[in-house]
């Protein structure tokens, strides 16, 4: 139903724009008959009357979104802050690292009713100038924090793994993507040019390999 409303509104908008172009052309020719460019100027004025209020902000939005996506793509990928070897030493050496266990399934650290973080845990973490919010626990020691940033239809997702005992971020990964919304759900779906934003999706093979280096030593030999 919403899709039909969108199509009807778009069709009406186009018809009104065509009429405005024709009407503007006639008005300018009558007002300035001595100038050959009057018709073109009137047509342009009529076009901008209905379209100009959209074109200018859309152009600015696109430029800003493209700049943000391009800059963030430079930071996308897997990032190591404490090397696997350093992490091994933090646990007490090779033997302790081999015995270190990650829970079979991640656990939420929020109250199911109030959604507040359980006592003893930090709701958010400030790291490298950004704020990350607690997502889940992989063990009593390894916590997962995330941040999501949405700017002009560019979505940035970042996940970091935090050692709750030493207070250090071990490693993390980040991806960037941009896409126009579904036109059936959002009028901004008309902005087809949003699909031209650069996308920098994380290499999941690299994520799995890095995760194994920290938490799943038995997988490294496979």
pLDDT exceeds 80 at position 183: no
CA 1 to chain centre: 29
Q: How sure is the predictor about 190, in pLDDT bands with cuts at 50, 70 and 90?
A: low
If asked whether residues 13 and 92 sit together in one domain, one would say: no
Q: Would 21 be classed as within a structural domain? A: yes
- Tally of domains in the chain: 2
If asked whether residues 194 and 95 sit together in one domain, one would say: yes
Q: How sure is the predictor about 60, in pLDDT bands with cuts at 50, 70 and 90?
A: confident
If asked whether residues 178 and 84 sit together in one domain, one would say: yes
| pLDDT tens per residue across span 102-151 | 887 777 778 777 778 888 888 999 999 999 999 999 998 999 999 999 88
If asked whether residues 46 and 125 sit together in one domain, one would say: no
Q: Would 26 be classed as within a structural domain? A: yes
pLDDT exceeds 90 at position 78: yes
Q: Would 65 be classed as within a structural domain? A: no
If asked whether residues 137 and 32 sit together in one domain, one would say: no
Owning domain of residue 44: 2-58
If asked whether residues 89 and 117 sit together in one domain, one would say: yes
Q: Would 67 be classed as within a structural domain? A: no
């Amino acid at each position: 139903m919403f899709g039909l409303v969108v199509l009807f509104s778009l069709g009406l908008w186009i018809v009104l724009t065509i009429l405005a172009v024709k009407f503007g052309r006639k008005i300018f020719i009558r007002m300035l008959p001595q100038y050959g460019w009057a018709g073109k100027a009137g047509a342009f004025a009529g076009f901008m009357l209905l379209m100009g209020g959209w074109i200018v902000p859309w152009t600015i939005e696109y430029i800003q979104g493209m700049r943000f996506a391009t800059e963030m793509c430079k930071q996308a990928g897997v990032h190591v802050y404490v090397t696997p070897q350093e992490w091994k030493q933090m646990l007490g050496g090779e033997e302790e690292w081999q015995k270190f266990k990650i829970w079979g399934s991640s656990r939420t650290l929020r109250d199911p009713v109030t959604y507040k973080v359980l006592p003893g845990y930090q709701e958010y973490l400030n790291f490298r100038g950004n704020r990350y919010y607690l997502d889940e626990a992989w063990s009593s020691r390894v916590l997962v924090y995330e941040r999501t940033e949405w700017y002009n239809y560019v979505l940035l997702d970042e996940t970091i793994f935090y050692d709750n005992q030493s207070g250090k971020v071990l490693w993390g990964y980040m991806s960037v993507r941009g896409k126009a919304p579904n036109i059936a759900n959002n009028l901004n779906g008309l902005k087809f040019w949003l699909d031209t934003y650069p996308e920098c999706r994380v290499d999941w093979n690299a994520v799995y390999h890095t995760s194994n280096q920290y938490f799943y030593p038995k997988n490294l030999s496979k």
